[in-house]
Structure formats: structure tokens, C-alpha cells
Chains A and B, each alone.
Chain A
């Protein structure tokens, strides 16, 4: 018995041309990509990722942070912290990179219909959730209250500032931003993002929570969400692990029984609760 999902070799990258490079904050940049060979992007859902290849250097997994509805441009935001991402950050409009994907599980927005949606993002964790915000605002009537809680290190590290301000301007969205360390002139909240949870306007008995950020931040956030009364089955997180193939063959991304590349990166918290508190698993 054979189940073959991809007739094509899943390890072959497709060429994409960089349309625009945006410098976001500090070492963070965004690439807007267009496929060289075909008209439209393969469809994707928020939460999924692609493997991006820099010619001759290497390949890394990066979450998609563009609008799932806009099929002309593929958008990826990442930090230049390793060999490949730094090389990627040196690329310019017109350069070509390789793309494989989309891979992985997506944020379960279909479970949030008729419910409050709480999105908690920390640092670069806002990048995959931006796709989700686009999706939500495009279909706002499907959800009850929508709350975005975002934490950055300092005011200078606030990602997607313009989008955050636009979302905050929506009359039917609540956006709260906090920083770990304030700088002169910052009049906003200071403190870690879990501190925003006790007073955030949502009904815990009717809420889906989506959480993305450094693992420690996610654990502390989940503790506060559960303290508010959200059930573990209604909390979803996005995990990150070393990936070489993204299709469940190389074995690097294993997390307990799960392959983060195909069972994740989005996981239901109740499924991975024990793994999250086991060291080095």
C-alpha cells in the first residue's frame, strides 16, 4: 500500500525572484517573492512555512507572513542570525532564491468561528501570526472578540509597527503592545507579554488562543491563559526545531512522537503539554 502525496520530488526547490526587500527592525528583514515559472503561488494557510534556499549557501525553514488570499506575492520575514539567513539578508530585489513548500500544519481558525480569538505573539513570533491577522480581518464577522497581545524586547524591536497601528485603529479589534525593557519616551506598557493576559478582554469559556514566540515565553503565556480559564484544547502554539527536509524524512525536527515539519509547526497545546516541560526532549 502506498500513499504518495507528491508526484514531484519534494526536495527540489522552485525558483522565486525577490521583488522587494524590506528592512524591518534590527536584524530583521522581509522578502517579497514572486515565482519565476508559474503564475500563482501554491495555496497556503497561515501557520505554514516554506524552506528557502540561498544559492550555494543553504536552506532554512521560515514561516509565511503574507496574506493567504493574495496569491501573487510570497512574503517571508526572518532574522539574520545564521549563515543562511545572513546571506539571505544581503540579497537584493531581482535576486533569485529557491522555495520548497508550503509545509506543515496551520492555525485552526475554523475552530474559532463564533468564538473570541486571542493572539499572543512575542518578538519574531508575530511574523507567522501576521498572516492570521490578515485572514481574521478579512473575515471579521466570523469571530467574536479579537485580541492581539504583542511583546517585544524594547520599543525599537516592535515588529510590523505600521500594521499594529492599523489593527489598533480597527474599532472591533483590541491590540495591546508591551515591551520587556522601556527606553526613554516610551509611554506604553512595560512588562512581559503574559502580564497582559489577566486583563485582556475575552471570554475564556469561549476562546481560541494562538501563541507564537520563544518557547519560554510560550510556556509562561500558556500558564496565564490557563489561569484565566482557557482549556488546554483551545490553546495552540507554534514550535520550532532543526529541519533539513521538511517532509518527515531527515528526522531532525522530532519532538516526542511528532515531526514538527508535518505534525506541526502548529500544535494543540493539550497534545504536547508534557513534552513542553520535559527538558531536552
Chain B
């Protein structure tokens, strides 16, 4: 059984982070398992944690009145889930449900924020990485919005 530090070091999100930083934040973490079909987090709840997905697949969902539950994106092994722990009001904007059994390291958000306050270098590293994820997800979302496979007809039939 690997230590939390070893697991975090292996995860792509923390690539390049100094060992002492990894050690520092490992103190905020614990291992967690989620059965298929269970929710890791729900829309509107307090955004307490930062999920480092080790194994499995998580679907980000919203509930739309007539359409029911809609999965807008899946997050998979090697990725991370949740950034609302970093920004007030610290509430989730989506729900996340395990599509397959999920193993993750759960880092306590408040703990991480306290450590970032103490060590600004760590704060910078984490914020940079989260910003990068945000950038990638935004680009992907924009491409999703463009609905490129179903181009609108213009004029000519």
C-alpha cells in the first residue's frame, strides 16, 4: 500500500511539485473509495474537498428541470475534480457521481487554504496548476459549445 505522498507524487497534477510541498499537503489528505452510482459531491453543498482521482470515472452532472440529470463531462483517472474549494463562497456548482468505482485522494479544502496562507510558494504552485486545469476545461467546454459535428445549415440545401 503506497503512502499518500507517493500517490500524490505519481499523480500528473502534482508533477514538478517539490517533495516538501507534497509532504506538506499530504497532511490534508486521506484515501477514499466511492462505489459506482454514489455521489462524491452535490450541487449547492459546501465545497469542502479537492479530489485527486486515482482510479475510475466521475461524471459531472447538473439537474435540468425537464431533462433530468445531464452529464456534461467525465473526469477520469489522472485528473482532478473540484476547484470551488479555492474560491469563496466555497460551494459546488455541479454534482459529481461515480460512474465506475472510484478511488481518490481527498484533500481537505480548508486545510489546503490554511497551508497556502502559510506557504505562499505552495499557494502559487497550487493556484497555477488549478488555473491550468481551468484553462483546459474552458477550452474544451468552448469546443463542446460549438457543437462542431452538427453544423447549422446556411441557405443552400
Residues of A whose CB lies within 8 Å of any CB of B are: 81-83, 86, 122-124, 152-153, 157, 178, 180-182, 184, 186-192, 194-195, 198-199, 213-214, 216-217, 220, 223
Contacts and interface: CB of A to CB of B under 8 A. Distances in A.
A198 B57 CA distance: 15
7 contacts: A81-B153, A182-B72, A184-B68, A191-B73, A192-B143, A195-B136, A220-B140
A83 B146 CA distance: 25
A180 B147 contact: yes
Given A190-B60, A194-B143, A216-B146, 15 more contacts: A86-B157, A153-B149, A181-B72, A182-B70, A184-B68, A186-B71, A189-B76, A190-B73, A191-B73, A191-B144, A192-B140, A194-B140, A198-B12, A220-B143, A223-B139
B78 A216 contact: no
Interface in B68-102: 68-74, 76-79, 99-100
Contacts of B71: 182, 186, 190
Contacts of B73: 190-191, 195
A191 B74 CA distance: 7
The B contact surface, by secondary structure, is: mixed
Nearest to B69: A184
B74 A189 contact: yes
A82 B155 CA distance: 11
Given A182-B71, A220-B143, A199 B149 contact: no
Contact of A180 (B59, B149, B157): B149
B149 A190 contact: no
A214 B144 contact: no
B1 interface: no
Please indicate which of the listed interface residues A124, A194, A195, A223 has the most CB atoms of chain B within 10 Å of its own CB: A195
Contacts of A180: 144, 147, 149
Contacts of B157: 82-83, 86
Nearest to A83: B157
